[in-house]
Amino acid sequence: MSTKASNSGGKVSSNNDDNIGENAVNNSRTDGDNIKKDEKKFTLEELKKYKYKYVGVKGVVFDVSNNEMYNQGETYSIFTGHDASRALAKMSLEIGDVANTTISDLSLSEMDVLDDWYIKFEGKYKRVGVVDFPKDAKR
């Protein structure tokens, strides 16, 4: 059964509108707000040290080091070492979008795209931590 993000309450639902519970995505916050036991908090500067290894999506850091597409010189390597939420939402490979952590100004359709990316990362890569955004960061 495939899942699709809907705008009703920010929940992810299946094609037949069954709620899938714990995998529900809430557009009003980042999933990085939910830190799990034994997870690391990465500042944006710390995350940069993990170029070609980690990617942040909606404030959650995933280990992508086993996927060749994130290796140095490869297409998606631009996302590594960053919370790439904005760029993923906009389907952009522009460094300006990758480096910009603001997602509050994204359109509903861009948020849906971001939710879809989050679900893909969550299903494919190991979650290793969360991004500790600066207090003054626009999110």
38 lies in a domain? Answer: yes
Whole-model pTM: value is 0.76
7 lies in a domain? Answer: no
To which residue do tokens 């995350």 refer?
Answer: 47
Let me know: does 85 contact 114? Beta carbons within 8 Å. Answer: yes
- Show the domain range for 75: 28-131
User: How far, in Å, are 72, 106, 113 from residue 19 at the CA level?
Assistant: 39, 25, 19
Let me know: does 126 contact 62? Beta carbons within 8 Å. Answer: yes
71 lies in a domain? Answer: yes
Choice between 20 and 122, residue whose per-residue pLDDT is larger = 122
Q: In 18-107, which ranges are continuous DSSP H helix?
A: 44-48, 85-90, 95-99
**Four-residue CA torsion sign, 31, 100, 90, 77:** negative
Residue 38 sits in a domain of what CATH number? 3.10.120.10
Q: What is the pLDDT of residues 14-47, one digit of tens each?
A: 333 333 333 334 443 455 667 777 789 999 999 9
Which residues does residue 57 pair with via DSSP β-bridges, in sequence order? 60
104 lies in a domain? Answer: yes
Number of folded domains that form the chain = 1
92 lies in a domain? Answer: yes
75 lies in a domain? Answer: yes
User: How far, in Å, are 3, 15, 114 from residue 18 at the CA level?
Assistant: 10, 8, 21
Q: What is the pLDDT of residues 88-99, one digit of tens each?
A: 999 999 999 999
